[in-house]
Amino acid sequence: MRLVFDTNVLFAANITRGTCATLYQEALMAATLLTSDHILNELEEKLVTKARMITEEAARTRAEVADDCGVVAIAPLPRPVCRDSDDDAILATAIAARADLLVTGDKDLLLLGSYEGIPIITPAECLTRLRV
């Protein structure tokens, strides 16, 4: 199974010990994780600005996530889909990755339900699917 985790899932996986951290660890063993430079850059920025992580530690975390995931090159979507252009980059990552699932906590993305045939689900739902 090919999975793309939105930035918010990767962020939570790296700063808490909840569902996202568990999902990340289980997905490493049971699936193929894919990401993009856009997601990695956003993760690093959020670790510094929101989690108040020192710059070097955030860069190290970004590198570890990049090592865990395949990094795909993305192209802009043909037309905007979401009101937030960062969300469009997440969708572009899922397309470039040929993802089976896009995993996010973002309500705007979850409201789409799917995009280009790729289901958009919550971390809890993904964890359930991995365990079946």
Mean pLDDT of the region 5-29: 97
- Output the domain CATH number for residue 96: 3.40.50.1010
pTM of the model: 0.95
Instruction: Indicate if the pLDDT at residue 100 is higher than 90.
Output: yes
Q: Is the pLDDT of residue 30 over 90?
A: yes
- In this predicted structure, the answer to whether residue 43 has a pLDDT above a threshold of 90 is yes
**Residue 86 pLDDT:** 85
Give residues with Cβ within 8 angstroms of 16, minimum separation 6.
none
71-82 tens-digit pLDDT: 999 998 888 788
Least confident of 3-12, 30-39, 83-92: 83-92
Tally of domains in the chain: 1
Q: What is the mean pLDDT of residues 19-45?
A: 97
CA-closest candidate to residue 92, choices 107, 78, 113: 78
Residue 49: domain span: 2-130
| Phi then psi dihedrals of residue 83, to 5 deg | -70, -20
- Joined tokens for residue 35: 């990401």
Q: Give the pLDDT band (50/70/90) at residue 29.
A: very high
